[in-house]
Amino acid sequence: AQSVAQPEDQVNVAEGNPLTVKCTYSVSGNPYLFWYVQYPNRGLQFLLKYITGDNLVKGSYGFEAEFNKSQTSFHLKKPSALVSDSALYFCAVRDASDYKLSFGAGTTVTVRA
Amino acid sequence: GAVVSQHPSWVICKSGTSVKIECRSLDFQATTMFWYRQFPKQSLMLMATSNEGSKATYEQGVEKDKFLINHASLTLSTLTVTSAHPEDSSFYICSAMDRAAGELFFGEGSRLTVL
């Protein structure tokens, strides 16, 4: 079985401040980890993924995430948030052997001007 | 990058009617597609795995006679909500697997409102 936990329903930050969205995961095999962003009434946009290699992954729109195997975490970060980053963010995991994704509950990010 | 198209984006129907939602992979072949359902401000819940040329695999608790899935070609999967009722109102999202790229790509979603 695989699962994802996003402990924060909401994250509020001021524009220009660092943004962190937390994610922890559980998977039986090697994890493939993903972050997606969703704007209202839209599908999911891919931000970044970790498959293997460097623990620090850089993705779209200035986002990055760090894979921490010992803490089973994959937190999403952005050094300087923009108002346009306000959206719903999903962390997802799948086992390396299966394409079926499990999603976290989502975290609503609000960046105030 | 690869594109997955869903149609329609929005649909409003009367209770008791059936609604078909299409999911197309535009520039790659997808032997496997996934259908998700999302309630407002909630996560995506996997409904079923659609396999080209064979029966879909439904997740526990999803009524297969209610949500008919057909994957008749390598680029098209359809989800038909039969005898729709207001509680079926939701946002339905598909994803398609590009095995060559090793990636999953998501459609833009379809908002169903049953009156």
Question: What is the pLDDT confidence band of residue A11, given thresholds at 50, 70 and 90?
Answer: very high
Mean pLDDT of B80-99: 94
- Is B12's pLDDT higher than 80? yes
| HEC string for B44-99 | EEEEEEEECCCCCEECCCCCCCCEEEEEEECCEEEEEECCCCHHHCEEEEEEEEEC
Model confidence at A16: pLDDT above 80: yes
Contact A101 B104 (CB under 8 A): yes
Arithmetic mean of pLDDT, A54-69: 95
Q: Which of A87, A34, A86, A95 lies closest to A65 in space, CA to CA?
A: A34
Task: Give residue B2's pLDDT.
Answer: 63
| Predicted local distance difference test score (pLDDT) of residue A97 | 80
Would you say A57 and A77 are in contact if contact means Cβ atoms under 8 Å apart? Answer: no
Q: What pLDDT, on a 0 to 100 scale, did the predictor assign at position A41? A: 80
Say how many residues make up chain B. 115
Identity of the amino acid at A98:
D
A101 part of contact set with chain B, CB < 8 Å: yes
Give the torsion through C-alpha atoms of A50, A32, B28, B52, to 10 deg: -170
pLDDT at B1: 58
Cα–Cα nearest to B4, from B47, B50, B42:
B50
| Neighboring chain A residues of B32 at a CB cutoff of 8 Å | 99
Cβ atoms B107, B5 nearer than 8 A: yes
Confidence of residue A29 (pLDDT cuts 50, 70, 90): confident
Mean pLDDT of B9-26: 96
- Cα-based distances in Å from B39 to B30, B84, B90, B105: 26, 16, 6, 20
**pLDDT tops 90 at residue B72:** no
Q: Which amino acid is at B85?
A: H
| A42 pLDDT tier (thresholds 50, 70, 90) | confident
Q: Which of A102, A105, A108, A107 is nearest to A33 (CA)?
A: A102
The verdict on a CB contact (< 8 Å) between B109 and A105 is no
Give the minimum alpha-carbon distance from B10 to chain A in angstroms, rounded to a whole number: 10
Residues 58-77 of A with CB under 8 A from B: none
CB contact under 8 A, A106 and B41: yes
Give one word for B26, left, alpha or beta, with left for phi > 0 and alpha for psi -120 to 50.
alpha
Of residues B73, B64, B35, B7, the one with CA closest to residue A100 = B35
